[in-house]
């Protein structure tokens, strides 16, 4: 029998449903794979072996009892360590939460459990999801399975690397400025940022509340859609959750897989052309555009004049919100406490705790945000950034009057070597150049592998209007049906 | 440091005060502002908390509809405009009783703005302008350990209970109130009193200042006539109506003393001390944190639909001032009479007694007479005296039916106040009913005549006034339970004299 | 010209409750200066009449019914506490000037 880790989630669900394999066998195969490769990849911060096998046994016994099972029952899933899991460590990649076991489950994890998926464990990430390489994890970097000397993207490098290393068929990420799509692109996997409000943030350790969007990661577009369907939809515990059903992303992925895009109009953003993407990335992107045209899509150029200000606006809005969201990490109610010697005051202990518990990137952003919100600077920085955000949304609206979806390379560059960009924080920020606009607008985006450059994966991004997540699935699935597969070298 | 403080008369002769009041009201909703934890007062520490009100990572707020409606109703009762669209904001500062280290509040977009509240001071109407009414969340409670007095100063550590964290608060802010002169302390008190009555009539809060469900901060400044308003101080920890008045007065005197000594007033927070009636310096505003307000991204805007607001407005109860005016008319009282009822805190009691069947005159008589006297003697509020309006109405009913004399009724009332039950029950248990059995009375009368032949002869001889002694004798044998008028008629009848 | 001074960075660290070291202060001042100069580009956009976007979903009045939901047990509530006593969260002494409203 073929190694169970090589199957897609859809295939595994079928094997379990038909009784050709048990959930326990599927789970054990992935746990074995993690044991075999994760000391080199370091995709996981915590593997919940017992919890996973318990959940798998539960699925098997429910199947034996003839109970109806969901479409992903018995399929393993890895969860970015930014989502709370009751009784299971949740660190957000930070020393300040190193020993925290939350007393509650996030909505997404609750839905994953209810659907009978098997949670393998928690994946590595840049601390508090701030970063583009997973090098800012307090627990050491994750390595790209395509080339272990390179980064897997970030902040959700663990979730994407675990897919590329066949440690899990599905994983969950969170995307504030590209943290699902960008790692997806550089690991040759699929990453989806749903419409903001289409997936619940309840239990997602907040980085930037108005931008954070949890979403599915997978090796195929259909798998991502199946996972999207399980985790998406209205949640009364999240005030910003959209009270409407998730668009039928599974049907759209199946439709796209037929390879016909007749009647679909796609827009290439003119302003992205001059943004300095690597030649190899541009070549792969142009080849993909040609492919999409052959599939029947009409590709035109559109202008989004304010996209050039997306990165600066993002690096004001996200740090501002994070400076407030991270204030609660003070060593009073949970997590690390440093310097409580019976002499120092609370203020000193708080400051020592935060100094010791936060890494350099988090400190930079907290201070940057504190600055941007200060009286006297608010209007010029935070206030102005929010106005630019309005203009970027208007650019999207105008563009979507002309085309059904926008396409671009997901990232300007392929996976870079570990350590290449840590010395200059702003160089790291450029990794999210093409993904940030949809976060500011709130619309969905997907990254799907479209080719290789120097033997490393390149992703194509499809951006759609808010609550039209199905459109991007169709385009991505169509491309997927004719390019690839992109399989990393054996580990 | 001992300084001689100027007399209040001198202060107001020289300076003009400007006051302002910020009042926090804990709403009496079932659940907290942003989560489903209950809001009941008290409870073992940290038993009414959840991930949201503990500010655990990942948790998110969802606003309480009842709290939003209560805030709109307060705004409407205070004649405010209701915003068509407004947002919550985060107020960022570090303090351990605030779980997220930011408070969800409202900043430049309050739910209600530009209203007023009419109050009466010494019978004169005063209109207090309201600047804003907004929503926010309460903090937890900190217990300071190791210090001498349980105060923060000198404590070696503190213990935090988050049961109160997240309880809905409404902040009501007046515009500055100039021109009150010497009456500024009374104006402040009258405003808080009237505000409390309005909030109580709306049923949005139990408005108990002692328990902290109504909390008041008082802003005070002084200026010379014709000059700009002075630097203001904000006095916190003012926990009773009496303290509101005292806090303004003492702060006016203190500021005048500083100014007289050539000093200047520092813009600062001051703490009021109930025991001494003084204020002491707290945090200086000059070193205060920059709160870095910004729109709360976790909560979407509140945009009250005009229909919704209109429905809430239509359902407002009659507000206390109008209610009182209507009652005065219905009861046919003079301003002075009404004032004495207000001063006694008897409006609602009399109203309820009338509703239970008594006449306005009788209800007023019992509450302002016998019961007020007893309340004064016992040193309790009239409402806490132990007699209910229903019992008072029942008592009056027994008098009207001739079953009790006035004197007997007072005796019965004494036992009602002592908690022995309803007037009818007490009357029966203690055998206090008026003797109306003519047979028994006639026997008592005949007995009295036989025992006092000389007096009986005088009456027979035409000296009717002498019958009083016989009446007294009968009343004595019946232990006061006979009706004196009936007894007198019976005596005259037995002696064959026309009354 | 530098967008931000070393002193301002020290002030931001205090506001953010970060006990940064002297060396860190130098590094941070340099990095924040580069970032601030870059993000200040938003000022190039003419946006005087443009309304700011604070929320990307066009929702209003998302309100919860006033119905009691289950709480954590005190054990769960205190499970992550670095220090606790008498069923409360224990913290070191609070400086007087920290007293807030």
Indicate yes or no: CB of C88 within 8 angstroms of CB of B87: no
Give burial (CB, 10 Å; 0-12/13-18/19+) of A1. Answer: exposed
Give the per-residue pLDDT at B285. 52
Q: Give the list of residues 6+ apart from residue A436 with CB closer than 8 angstroms, or none.
A: A177, A178, A310, A311, A314
Give the per-residue pLDDT at C99. 45
Indicate yes or no: CB of C100 within 8 angstroms of CB of B299: no
- Which SS3 state, helix, strand or coil, does residue A401 take? helix
Name the band, by pLDDT with cuts 50, 70 and 90, for residue B149: low
- Closest residue in C to A354 (Cα–Cα): C18
Q: Domain map of chain C by residue range?
A: 6-43
Q: Tell how many helices (H) and how many strands (E) occur in chain A.
A: 17, 11
- Closest residue in A to B63 (Cα–Cα): A239
- Name the CATH superfamily housing domain A1-491: Amidase signature (AS) domain (3.90.1300.10)
pLDDT tens-digit map of B19-78: 999 999 999 999 999 999 999 877 899 999 999 999 999 999 999 999 999 999 999 999
Give the per-residue pLDDT at B342. 82
Q: Is the peptide bond before B112 cis (omega within 30 degrees of 0)?
A: no
Inter-chain CB pairs, A–B, below 8 Å: 101
From the candidates A22, A80, A174, A208, give the one annotated as an active-site residue.
A80
User: Which one of B36, B98, B156 has the shortest CB-CB distance to C93?
Assistant: B156
Secondary structure (DSSP) of chain C = --SS-HHHHHHHHHHTT----HHHHHHHHHHHHHHHHHHGGGGGS--TTPPPPS-SS-----EE-S---PPPPHHHHHTT-SSEETTEEEEEPPPGGG---
Q: Which of A387-401, B209-223, B372-386 has the highest mean pLDDT?
A: A387-401
A residues 26-45 near B, CB within 8 Å?
Answer: none
- Closest residue in B to A92 (Cα–Cα): B57
A residues 305-334 near B, CB within 8 Å?
Answer: 320-321, 323-324, 327-330, 332-334
- At the top level of CATH, the class of B438-494 is mainly alpha
Give the per-residue pLDDT at A2. 62
CB atoms within 10 A of CB A135: 23
Please check the confidence at residue C101 and state whether its pLDDT lies above 70: no
Give the per-residue pLDDT at B3. 63
Indicate yes or no: CB of A335 within 8 angstroms of CB of C32: no
Q: Residue A463 — φ and ψ, nearest 5°?
A: -115, 135
Integer Cα distance of A198 and B488 in angstroms: 92
Q: Give the list of residues 6+ apart from residue A468 with CB closer than 8 angstroms, or none.
A: A195, A247, A405, A443, A444
Question: Is A239 touching B (CB cutoff 8 A)?
Answer: yes
Please check the confidence at residue B185 and state whether its pLDDT lies above 90: yes
Q: Is A86 a catalytic residue?
A: no
Which 8-state DSSP code applies to residue B277? Answer: -
Give the per-residue pLDDT at B384. 84
User: Which one of C63, C72, C97 has the shortest CB-CB distance to B49?
Assistant: C72
pLDDT tens-digit map of B315-341: 999 999 889 889 999 998 888 888 888
Give the per-residue pLDDT at A311. 96
Please check the confidence at residue B286 and state whether its pLDDT lies above 50: no
Integer Cα distance of A234 and A215 in angstroms: 14
Least confident of B114-118, B121-125, B310-314, C20-24: B121-125
C residues 32-71 near A, CB within 8 Å?
Answer: 32, 34-36, 38-45, 47, 50-57, 59, 62, 64
pLDDT tens-digit map of C41-53: 999 999 999 999 9
Neighbouring chains of C at 3+ CB pairs within 8 Å? A, B
Question: Is A206 touching C (CB cutoff 8 A)?
Answer: no
Name the band, by pLDDT with cuts 50, 70 and 90, for residue B277: confident
From the candidates A106, A137, A179, A208, give the one annotated as an active-site residue.
A179
Give the per-residue pLDDT at C96. 59
- Closest residue in B to A371 (Cα–Cα): B292
Question: Is B288 touching A (CB cutoff 8 A)?
Answer: no
User: Which one of B62, B101, B298 has the shortest CB-CB distance to A328?
Assistant: B101
Indicate yes or no: CB of A330 within 8 angstroms of CB of B160: no
Question: Is A18 touching C (CB cutoff 8 A)?
Answer: no
Which 8-state DSSP code applies to residue B42? Answer: -
Integer Cα distance of A301 and A309 in angstroms: 19
Looking up tokens 């036992």 gives B415
Give the per-residue pLDDT at B477. 82
B289: its two tokens: 């944190």
Q: Domain map of chain A by residue range?
A: 1-491
Indicate yes or no: CB of B155 within 8 angstroms of CB of C94: yes
Neighbouring chains of B at 3+ CB pairs within 8 Å? A, C
A residues 55-114 near C, CB within 8 Å?
Answer: 100-104
Indicate yes or no: CB of A370 within 8 angstroms of CB of C12: yes
Name the band, by pLDDT with cuts 50, 70 and 90, for residue C100: very low
Enumerate residue ranges in chain A where pLDDT < 70: 1-2, 274-275
Q: Does ipTM surpass 0.95 in this model?
A: yes
User: Which one of C62, C80, C92 has the shortest CB-CB distance to B300?
Assistant: C62
- Measure B324 CA to nearest chain A CA, in Å: 43
| Mutation site, B57, B143, B288, interface A, largest A CB count within 10 A | B57
| Mutation site, B31, B50, B58, interface A, largest A CB count within 10 A | B58
| Mutation site, A321, A388, A394, A466, interface C, largest C CB count within 10 A | A388
Integer Cα distance of A240 and A201 in angstroms: 8
Q: Give the list of residues 6+ apart from residue B329 with CB closer than 8 angstroms, or none.
A: none
Neighbouring chains of A at 3+ CB pairs within 8 Å? B, C
> Residue B73: which H helix or E strand, with range?
helix B65-77
Integer Cα distance of A74 and B319 in angstroms: 63
From the candidates A133, A155, A241, A408, give the one annotated as an active-site residue.
A155
> Residue B426: which H helix or E strand, with range?
helix B423-429
Indicate yes or no: CB of C65 within 8 angstroms of CB of B152: no
Q: Is A80 a catalytic residue?
A: yes
A397: its two tokens: 């609206």
Q: What is the mean pLDDT of residues B452-468?
A: 86
Q: Which residues of C touch B46 (CB under 8 A)?
A: 74, 77-78, 87-89
Length of chain B: 499
Q: Which residues of A touch C40 (CB under 8 A)?
A: 312, 380-381
Q: What is the mean pLDDT of residues C34-45?
A: 94
- Measure A326 CA to nearest chain B CA, in Å: 8
Least confident of A349-353, B373-377, B493-497: B493-497
Look at B438 and B415; give whichever has higher pLDDT: B415
User: What's the CATH number of domain C6-43, 2.60.40, 3.30.300, 1.10.10, 1.10.20?
Assistant: 1.10.20
- Closest residue in C to A367 (Cα–Cα): C12
């Amino acid at each position: 029998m073929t190694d169970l880790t090589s199957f897609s989630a859809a295939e595994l669900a079928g094997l379990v449903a038909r009784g050709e394999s048990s959930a326990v066998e599927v789970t054990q195969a992935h746990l074995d794979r993690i044991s075999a490769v994760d000391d080199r990849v370091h995709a996981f911060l915590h593997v919940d072996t017992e919890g996973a096998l318990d959940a798998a046994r539960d699925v098997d016994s429910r199947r034996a009892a003839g109970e109806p099972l969901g479409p992903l029952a018995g399929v393993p899933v890895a969860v970015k360590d930014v989502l709370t899991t009751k009784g299971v460590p949740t660190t957000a990649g930070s020393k300040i939460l190193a020993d925290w076991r939350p007393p509650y489950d996030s909505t997404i994890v609750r839905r994953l459990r209810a659907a009978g998926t098997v949670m393998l464990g928690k994946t590595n990430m840049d601390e508090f999801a701030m970063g583009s390489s997973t090098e800012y994890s307090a627990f050491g970097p994750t390595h790209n399975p395509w080339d272990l000397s390179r980064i897997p993207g970030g902040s959700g490098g663990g979730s994407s690397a675990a897919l590329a290393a066949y440690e899990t068929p599905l994983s969950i990420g969170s995307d504030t400025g590209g943290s699902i799509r960008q790692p997806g692109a550089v690991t040759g996997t699929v990453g989806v940022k749903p419409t903001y409000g289409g997936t619940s943030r309840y239990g997602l350790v907040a980085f930037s509340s108005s931008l954070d969007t949890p979403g599915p990661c997978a090796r195929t577009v259909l798998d991502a859609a199946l996972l999207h369907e399980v985790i998406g939809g209205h949640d009364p515990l999240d005030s910003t959750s959209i009270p409407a059903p998730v668009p039928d992303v599974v049907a759209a992925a199946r439709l796209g897989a037929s390879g016909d895009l007749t009647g679909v109009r796609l827009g290439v953003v003119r302003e992205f052309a001059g943004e300095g993407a690597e030649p190899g990335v541009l070549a792969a992107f142009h080849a993909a555009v040609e492919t999409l045209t052959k599939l029947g899509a009409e590709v035109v150029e559109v202008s989004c004049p304010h996209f050039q200000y997306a990165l600066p606006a993002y690096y004001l809005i996200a740090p501002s919100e994070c400076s407030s969201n991270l204030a609660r990490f003070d060593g009073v109610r949970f997590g690390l406490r440093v310097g409580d010697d019976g002499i120092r005051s609370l203020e000193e202990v708080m400051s020592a705790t935060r100094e010791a518990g936060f890494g350099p990137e988090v400190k930079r952003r907290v201070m940057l945000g504190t600055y941007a919100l200060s009286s006297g600077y608010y209007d010029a920085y935070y206030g102005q950034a929010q106005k630019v955000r309005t203009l970027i949304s208007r650019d999207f609206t105008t563009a979507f009057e002309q085309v059904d979806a926008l396409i671009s390379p997901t990232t300007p560059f392929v996976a870079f070597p570990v350590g290449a960009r840590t010395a200059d924080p702003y160089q790291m920020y450029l990794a999210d150049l093409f993904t940030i606009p949809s976060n500011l607008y709130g619309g969905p985006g997907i990254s799907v592998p479209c080719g290789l450059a120097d033997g490393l994966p390149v992703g194509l991004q499809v951006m759609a209007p808010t609550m039209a997540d199905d459109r991007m699935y169709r385009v991505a699935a169509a491309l997927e049906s004719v390019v690839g597969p992109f399989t990393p070298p054996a580990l | 440091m001992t300084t001689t403080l100027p007399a209040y008369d001198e202060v107001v002769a020289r300076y003009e005060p400007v006051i302002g009041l910020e009042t926090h009201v804990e709403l009496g909703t079932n659940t907290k502002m942003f989560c489903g934890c209950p809001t009941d007062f008290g409870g073992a520490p940290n038993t009414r908390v959840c991930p949201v009100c503990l500010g655990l990572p990942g948790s998110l707020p969802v606003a309480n509809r009842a709290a939003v409606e209560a805030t709109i109703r307060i705004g409407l009762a205070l004649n405010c405009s209701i915003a068509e669209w407004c947002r919550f904001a985060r107020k960022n500062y570090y303090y351990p009783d605030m779980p997220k280290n930011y408070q969800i509040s409202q900043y430049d977009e309050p739910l209600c703005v530009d209203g007023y509240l009419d109050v009466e001071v010494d019978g004169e109407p005063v209109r207090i302008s309201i600047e804003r009414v907004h929503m926010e969340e309460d903090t937890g409670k900190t217990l300071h350990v190791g210090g001498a007095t349980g105060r923060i100063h000198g404590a070696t550590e503190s213990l935090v209970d988050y049961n109160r964290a997240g309880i809905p608060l409404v902040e009501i802010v007046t515009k500055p109130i100039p021109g009150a002169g010497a009456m500024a302390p009374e104006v402040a008190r009258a405003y808080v009193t009237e505000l409390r009555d309005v909030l109580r009539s709306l049923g949005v809060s139990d408005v108990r200042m002692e328990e902290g469900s109504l909390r008041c901060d008082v802003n005070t400044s002084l200026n010379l006539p014709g000059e700009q308003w002075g630097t203001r101080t904000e006095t916190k920890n003012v926990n009773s109506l009496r303290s509101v008045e005292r806090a303004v007065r003492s702060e006016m005197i203190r500021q005048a003393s500083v100014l007289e000594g050539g000093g200047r007033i520092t813009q600062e927070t001051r703490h009021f001390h109930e025991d001494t009636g003084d204020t002491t310096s707290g945090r200086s505003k000059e070193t205060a944190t920059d709160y870095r307000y910004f729109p709360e991204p976790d909560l979407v805007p509140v945009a009250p639909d005009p229909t919704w607001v209109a429905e809430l407005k239509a359902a407002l109860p009659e507000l206390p001032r109008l209610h009182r005016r209507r009652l005065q008319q219905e009861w046919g009282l003079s301003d002075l009479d009404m004032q004495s009822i207000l001063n006694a805190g008897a409006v609602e009691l009399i109203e309820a007694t009338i509703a239970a069947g008594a006449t306005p005159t009788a209800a007023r008589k019992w509450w302002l007479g016998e019961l007020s006297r007893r309340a004064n003697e016992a040193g309790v509020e009239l409402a806490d005296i132990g007699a209910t309006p229903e019992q008072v109405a029942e008592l009056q009913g027994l008098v009207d039916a001739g079953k009790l004399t006035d004197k007997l009724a007072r005796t019965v009332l004494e036992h009602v106040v002592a908690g022995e039950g309803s007037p009818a029950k007490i009357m029966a248990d203690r055998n206090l009913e008026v003797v109306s059995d003519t047979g028994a009375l006639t026997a008592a009368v005949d007995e009295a005549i036989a025992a006092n032949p000389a007096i009986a002869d005088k009456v027979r001889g035409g000296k009717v006034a002498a019958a009083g002694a016989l009446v007294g004798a009968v009343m004595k044998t019946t232990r006061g339970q006979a009706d004196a008028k009936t007894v007198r008629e019976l005596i005259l009848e037995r002696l064959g004299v026309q009354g | 010209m530098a967008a931000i001074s070393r002193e301002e960075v020290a002030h931001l660290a205090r506001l953010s409750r970060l006990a940064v070291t002297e060396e860190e202060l130098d590094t941070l001042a340099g990095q924040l200066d580069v970032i601030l100069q870059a993000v200040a580009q938003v000022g190039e956009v003419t946006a005087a009449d443009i309304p700011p976007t604070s929320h990307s979903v066009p929702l209003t009045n998302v309100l919860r019914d006033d119905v009691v939901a289950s709480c954590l047990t005190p054990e769960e509530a205190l499970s992550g506490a670095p220090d606790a006593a008498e069923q409360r969260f224990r913290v070191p002494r609070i400086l007087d000037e920290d007293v807030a409203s």
